[in-house]
Chains A and B, each alone.
Chain A
Amino acid sequence: MNFDFADESPKLVMLLYGLVAFVVVVGGLLLLLDAVPAWFARRREAQLVAASASGAPIPRSRTKPREGLFAVFFLLPAVLLLLIGLVVPAIRTTVLSFMDGGSDNWVGLRNYGWLFSQDEIVRVLTNTLVWVFLVPLIATTIGLLYAVLVDKARMEALAKSLIFMPMAISFVGASIIWKFVYAYRGDGQEQIGLLNQIVVSLGGEPKQWLLESPLNTLLLIVIMVWIQAGFAMVVLSAAIKAIPADIVEAARLDGVNPWQMFWQVTLPSIRPALIVVVVTISIATLKVFDIVRTSTNGNFDTNVIANEMYNQAFRYGQAGQGSAMAVFLFILVIPIVIYQIRNLRQQREG
């Protein structure tokens, strides 16, 4: 490969522009977050100094509306972005789900009827259910076990970063890595997939892992667990470390064994964190798209809602059917979100 800088210079210049723009935007944002509160603080300080110098009472009442203004300043971008990025599209998607493929005519509930009459769609829904049931369960369990076992162990930081690292890889990247793990070559050929190489060296015959349903769905779930277990571990480990030392001490004095310690002290203490982890992973799992798309594109009976939604709306030109699936997915997520909010509120009150 010869690389000619002169030939590539327009692209390099573009790259430079991109980098500079990134620095300007991100730097600007950080600065804004830094300078604006500092400015408010300085003004307040000046006022206090002026007030104390003149001997007048400190204008306490005037701070309240200021703080309100301050809150609005920070909330406004978030609210605006939510409106543009979430509320408006949600309404539009719902409207589209009652229209035909080209979004021209009203078809009533036909898209929803279609959703539940297709054999393949039933398959998609059951697959999604399997995902939502297994991923949070397995990922949280692994994360929890790891957090407990590694707690206060030697080389804790190293052990934790090892399991946390997959989090840094994108879903697509992770899927490509695992696709190589599952890769297949015929019997007698040189295996390029790790899993088949292990099977072959144990004297077995290579298998086409991603082809056999329902095993293939489970193998895809492994990818998601691989990514999410690190997240669960980090949050739960922090929660375990936050358990007050005197509680642990008291339990020790009462003579609990490690088993009792786990069930009666650790687990109840980290319950809120545990729920946050399960809920977060559940929502991420309901939306799973990249892994399935990259690994099998939903072939061989591995399809899930988000992938089929994209196919229907953007590849097949059936915007109505795709929107109906999106609305259905949205409805599935709502109970989890409500549970999460209730949970947060209870925590605050309790």
Chain B
Amino acid sequence: MAVTARPRQAIAIIGALGLALTATACGSDDDNSGNNAGSAECSAYEKYQGNDGKKVSIYASIRDAEADLLEQSWEQFVDCTGIEIDYEGSGEFEAQLQVRVDGGNAPDIAFIPQPGLLARFAEAGKLKPASADTKTMAEQNYSPDWLKYSTVGGQFYGAPLGSNVKSFVWYSPKTFKEKGWEVPTTWEQLVALSDKVAADGTKPWCVGIESGDATGWPATDWIEEFMLRTQTPEVYDQWTTHGIPFNDPKVAEAVNLAGTILKNEKYVNGGFGGVKSIATTSFQEAGTPILQNKCAMHRQGSFYANQWPEGTKVAEDGDIFAFYFPTREGSQGKPVLGGGEFTVAFADRPEVQAVQTYLASGEYANSRAKLGNWASANNKLDVANVANPIDRLSVEIFQDKTTVFRFDGSDLMPGAVGAGTFWKQMIEWINGKDTTAVLNSIESSWPK
């Protein structure tokens, strides 16, 4: 196989190409050192300075447009401190993080959205405890409810970052007004509204739990909502930590109540088919029939705001908005189910700790919120900086004193259950398997 008749010439050309490549690669890197360090707008970053030219790598599941916003949000910090942040987002974050850590290639910082996974790394001794500065910053800015999710064995590992509210029901304010439907504030009103919509000839609910290799997770959210509405928050905590068995009658009660909506052929599944179509409808698509009046309601977190087609006005008086998923009579407080990610570190170099502390600060929360599409439970976050009405509603709920916040239960459970059998058995449940069999099966898979 003769690639070229004159190998020596070709070697020279390729060698020159290679040299040029390395030369340009070296040339482009040294731009953003901390030469702005002395300026006025950098005064807020004084305590993070002294790490000029150091590099910190961050790994998370946030990609594309959201990742661009993320990198924009710490631009000023990078300018003022000279710490270089090397961000990488991955769609297979949960599995790949394990691979990278096992392979000795752990990132300096990871944003872990599952406390269960966080605890696994902490218990394996892979995570570094947060520095005293980070801890103080986190305690000032977040409620103890939030900090306990990143505390393992009494050791605090890192502050929360972004947060979302899951207890939302999306609806069309326009359609509700036209048809004379009213936003329900209690469970009884919600059921009455569902019956009324069904009687009008529309399926009241749209549901979809297909999500690629994570299929099933939206259904676990439903069960968690009902655990919070049928039981006390303490029972919810026992459930997520296996203090009560998964097949406890209290869990069965919640699952069966969820079934009165999810497994009701009269209520679901607007725009897609029967109950079983829930299993094959992607959660991204699931809510969109609301815009065509094929269904009235879709229960999904604040992040669903991004799923509406371009040009849809998301506002209280617009095409689409969300109301708080109502509580039942006699429920305790105002339970809110939610999620979020935590900034944890696999290295304890000073620059890594500086970044970790900065991300827990109010300055960071406001700087990120101003860029849009983001909410946080950081109590230094000024609602005025949150542009999107749904994010504003989320922040208001987080800052409301009557809110009883609980983290997404499946994210708290061990991976084998929370990202495994719980998801899978919910799919079976939607497809007709009965509640007892489903719960027994999940219980038997809980790692011993």
Task: Write the residues of chain A forming the contact surface with B, with a CB cutoff of 8 angstroms.
Answer: 13, 17, 20-21, 23-24, 27-28, 30-31, 33-35, 38, 101-102, 104, 184-187, 189, 206, 208, 210-211, 293-294, 297, 299-300, 310-312, 314-318
Contact = CB atoms under 8 A, between A and B. Distances in A.
A184 B98 contact: no
Nearest to B116: A317
Contact of A101 (B18, B212, B431, B447): B447
Interface stretch (B3-11, B352-360, B404-412): B3-11
Contacts of A189: 271-273
Chain A residues touching B, majority SS: helix
B424 interface: yes
B419 interface: yes
Nearest to B203: A186
A185 B272 contact: yes
B7 A24 contact: no
A314 B99 contact: yes
A257 to B, nearest CB: 45
A38 B2 CA distance: 9
A35 B276 CA distance: 63
Contacts of B419: 315-316
Given A208-B277, A315-B420, A300 B427 contact: yes
Interface string B406-448: 0000000011100110001001000100000000000000010
Given A315-B419, A316-B416, A24 B424 contact: no
Contact of B11 (A31, A184, A206, A297): A31
The 3 closest A-B pairs by CB, nearest first: A186-B273, A314-B95, A316-B416
B58 interface: no
B151 interface: no
Given A23-B17, A311-B420, A317 B414 contact: yes
Contacts of A315: 94-95, 415, 419-420
B213 interface: yes
A27 B280 contact: no
Contact of A317 (B215, B416, B424): B416
B124 interface: yes
A104 B280 CA distance: 39
B7 A35 contact: yes
Max chain A C-beta neighbours (<10 A), residue from B11, B99, B117, B415: B415
Contacts of A294: 212
A31 B3 contact: yes
A33 B4 CA distance: 12
Nearest to A301: B428
B7 A21 contact: no
Contacts of A33: 1
Contacts of A187: 273
A24 B14 contact: yes
Interface in B87-130: 94-95, 98-99, 117, 120, 123-124
Nearest to B95: A314
Contacts of B3: 27, 30-31, 34
A162 B86 CA distance: 45
Given A28-B14, A211-B276, A317-B98, 15 more contacts: A21-B21, A27-B14, A31-B10, A33-B1, A34-B4, A35-B11, A185-B272, A186-B269, A208-B276, A297-B215, A299-B424, A300-B427, A317-B414, A317-B416, A318-B447
B40 interface: no
Nearest to B17: A24
18 contacts: A20-B17, A31-B7, A31-B10, A31-B11, A31-B14, A34-B3, A38-B7, A101-B416, A102-B120, A186-B272, A186-B273, A186-B277, A189-B271, A206-B273, A210-B280, A211-B279, A299-B216, A317-B98
Given A297-B213, A315-B419, A184 B427 contact: no
B124 A102 contact: yes
Contact of B427 (A208, A299, A316): A299
A30 B4 CA distance: 10
A316 B1 contact: no
A31 B15 CA distance: 12
B18 A24 contact: yes
B309 to A, nearest CB: 14
A189 B424 CA distance: 28
A214 B405 CA distance: 43
Given A189-B271, A315-B95, A316-B416, A17 B21 contact: yes
Contacts of A34: 1-4, 7
Nearest to A35: B7
Interface string B201-218: 000000000001101100
Contacts of A13: 28
A104 B424 CA distance: 28
B274 interface: yes
A235 to B, nearest CB: 22
A211 B215 CA distance: 13
A104 B415 CA distance: 17
A316 B415 contact: yes
Contacts of B10: 27, 31
A324 to B, nearest CB: 14
Contacts of A27: 3, 10, 14
Nearest to A318: B416
Given A185-B273, A299-B424, A317 B280 contact: no
Contacts of A316: 414-416, 419-420
Contact of B98 (A30, A206, A299, A314): A314
B26 interface: no
Nearest to B214: A297
Nearest to B418: A316
A95 B274 CA distance: 48
Given A210-B280, A299-B424, A299-B427, A317 B415 contact: yes
A8 to B, nearest CB: 10
A22 to B, nearest CB: 11
A184 B213 contact: no
B25 interface: yes
Contacts of A311: 420
Given A186-B274, A187-B273, A208-B277, A317 B120 contact: yes
B213 A300 contact: no
